[in-house]
Amino acid sequence: MTTCDEIEADKPSDQPSLIRLVLFFVMQGVAVILVGFAALFLSFEPVWSAERLQSNYLKPGDARAGSLLLKIDEGYADASRLDVDVDLTVSGPTVRARVTQIFRNPSKDWVEAVYVYPLPSGGAVDSLKMVIGDRVVVGDIKERQQAKAIYEQAKQNGQKAALTEQERPNIFTNSVANIGPGETVLVQIEYQGPFQQSGTEFSLRVPMVVAPRYNPAPVVQSVDFEPGGGWGATKSDPVPDRDRISPQVLDPATNAPVNPTRITVRLQAGFPLGEVKSHHHAIKTEKPDANRSIIRLAEGPVPADRDFELTWKPAAEQAPSVGLFRERVGDSDYLLAFVTPPSVEQAQQKPLPREVIFVIDNSGSMGGVSIIQAKASLIYALGRLQPNDRFNVIRFDHTMEVLFPSAVPADSEHISRATSFVGALRANGGTEMVPAMRAALFDKAGDANYVRQVVFLTDGAIGNEQQLFETINALRGRSRIFMVGIGSAPNTYLMTRAAELGRGTFTHIGSVEQVEERMRGLFAKLENPAVTNLTAKFSEAAADITPVAIPDVYRDEPLVLAAKLDKLAGSVEINGRVGDRPWVVTLPLANAAEGKGLSKLWARRKIADAEVARTTRQATPEDADRTILALALEHQLVTRLTSLVAVDKTPSRPQGEPLKLSELPINLPAGWDFEKVFGETRLQGPPAERRLGDAALSAQRFGADHR
């Protein structure tokens, strides 16, 4: 929790400190102290007023660099603007995050602002606050359609309202209605999430931009009706919500970056800290004591155009191998366990050779530095193959090419040919990922003397994730799928779920400098035995454990279990096999440390279990949805079936005044090539932007005959 002392000590500039002061009072819910809230925003530049705006209309040619213009009757005016403040506290096993979006309306019109943004796919969103002047309005969780109806009615009534909806587990939309001329409205959401561990390194990721998604075109099929009834056509859409995940994207060649974002991380590791590193942003670090660090962006706000990744290590280079945390909520105890199995080298007998199928995405979204990273990663991987292995390479965009008719020996001749093939790849075209996954999982030989592994390199920029998951579930056979996320803003939801369904892992490579380090870590997993056949058993407590099907755990990875218990008594015993050796660990529950937000994480993971059961057809869609809705309402979480809505009781927009929609654009992810994604013809006139999912991103652009 932020304190007044921390805020006062945090004064490199007045503007951020004022934001933090406002956020402190919002968090505390002390609405009475927020009198004069609007005055605090006078420190923001520019200072907007209705009078000034009426005399401040621009012509497109007069706009300053970086302006985003809104078309109005008299000409063009600056469109709605957004500032973002992200504050994260890492404590015990979890991350508590506050994301504050500050919507400003510089026009003379009443507007509804809509912003599509990413969050970590494992985050449990559970809080919404809206601040208008001196009033704080707290949101409520409702079923999605009910929340939408409440919001629409408030919008029609002229009341200020905010609505938070989930489009994907990692894509959300905030809508804010009835922002008056010159007004600023603050919307704050909070979520609980986990961080990651690999060996002695811990990490968290803050996604900051929704990367453009390739959305395959709807499929139209002719249908014969009853005799004499004629014929017709049906249309099935693999991305029925394409408009909701397709915000406008600014062309960086003609627009300065938008959506400036501040990030603060309060790192309370619980052990003496060693190296703390940001991989893609410059940071400054304060160390109040050996166990704590406060990390901020070194140069102030940054454009929301790439993920923020922070890693930290213990000072002694030896991370705890076991962590056990508990939380009491209502009549139940919630437990979160982290257990890192020991690294066991291969047994004396010679390990089985591997059949590795490499798949590389060379579609348009991989243009720029992404294709460089992907090619370097694959060439490095080819060099790690052993003479007794065999392999193949598949490349795809809206077309697909398989290098060899079947897997070939990893000898120098075949490796050289594959290296030349990869080196010549260029990024262009659409992202038809499902056919490439089908080809990779086609196991013609079915040779049990080889361990079969699929290494899939992509940014995951597609909208039809569910089709990919269903393909993996249906065809995975004995293959294990290792997803390698490429670029500054990968689709981590797709990557983690695909790896989970494929019994593999997800590795992210965000820069060329990370290629060797991250690929070396991946091959440590590929080349060493996983911990398999994992089970967990509680000696005295009745437990509802998630994940239901405990996945295999690879080298340096912890097993992470969450459970809801009827009592905190006895112990939990975890059994598995490391290669051909048994492994067991027993943890007394009395040793569990206090943790916060564990009930939310348990519920979020149970919801993910229900979504997986739906995909794997272990549950009907109706049963899965009932489970998800019950968990979401009980634990007050945003899901695809529930939303958060906040409504100010006092109408503000005068009756008869029109309301204009202002869809706030996003940046192109750093390192992406705008023309590779959207085509060479740029739109004319302000704003220079493209909407994701238009013809430039659909299969029609490339022709149906390519599929």
* 595-648 pLDDT tens trace: 999 999 999 999 999 999 999 999 999 999 999 999 999 999 999 999 999 999
Superfamily classification of domain 354-527: von Willebrand factor, type A domain (3.40.50.410)
| pLDDT winner (highest mean) among 197-201, 425-429, 526-530 | 425-429
| 5 C-beta neighbours (distance < 10 Å), count | 8
Structure confidence at residue 231 (pLDDT):
58
Backbone angles phi, psi at 415, to 5 degrees: -65, -40
Straight-line distance from the first to the last Cα atom of the chain, in angstroms, rounded to the nearest whole number: 52
Structure confidence at residue 555 (pLDDT):
87
- The residue with tokens 């002047």 is 133
Structure confidence at residue 344 (pLDDT):
61
- 512 vs 373, 480, 496, 516, 519, CA distance in Å? 5, 26, 22, 8, 11
For residue 387, pLDDT over 90 is answered with yes
Structure confidence at residue 219 (pLDDT):
78
Backbone angles phi, psi at 441, to 5 degrees: -85, -5
Lowest mean pLDDT among 7-21, 311-325, 523-537: 7-21
State mean pLDDT over 238-242. Answer: 93
Distance CA 124, CA 143 (A): 16
Structure confidence at residue 138 (pLDDT):
97
Strands 506-509 and 480-486: parallel
For residue 267, pLDDT over 90 is answered with yes
Structure confidence at residue 232 (pLDDT):
57
The better pLDDT of the pair 351, 692 is held by: 351
For residue 361, pLDDT over 90 is answered with yes
pTM of this structure? 0.86
Distance CA 314, CA 312 (A): 7
CA angle 172, 110, 25 (to 5 degrees): 60
Backbone angles phi, psi at 497, to 5 degrees: -70, -40
Residue extents of the structural domains in the chain: 219-243+676-706, 354-527
- The residue with tokens 């939303």 is 643
Q: How does residue 356 score in pLDDT terms, banded at 50, 70 and 90?
A: very high
Q: How does residue 54 score in pLDDT terms, banded at 50, 70 and 90?
A: very low
- The residue with tokens 């008594």 is 569
Distance CA 44, CA 47 (A): 6
Q: How does residue 100 score in pLDDT terms, banded at 50, 70 and 90?
A: very high
State mean pLDDT over 183-204. Answer: 93
Peptide bond into 272 cis (omega under 30): no
Residue 443 contacts residue 452 (beta carbons within 8 Å): yes
Q: What interhelical angle do 598-615 and 621-635 show, nearest 10?
A: 170
State mean pLDDT over 281-285. Answer: 97
Rg (alpha carbons) of the chain, rounded to whole number:
26
Lowest mean pLDDT among 80-84, 568-572, 647-651: 80-84
- Strand blocks (E) in 105-200: 110-118, 124-132, 135-138, 140-143, 159-168, 171-179, 184-194, 196-198
Distance CA 377, CA 367 (A): 15
Structure confidence at residue 199 (pLDDT):
84
For residue 101, pLDDT over 60 is answered with yes
Average pLDDT, the chain: 84
Structure confidence at residue 60 (pLDDT):
34
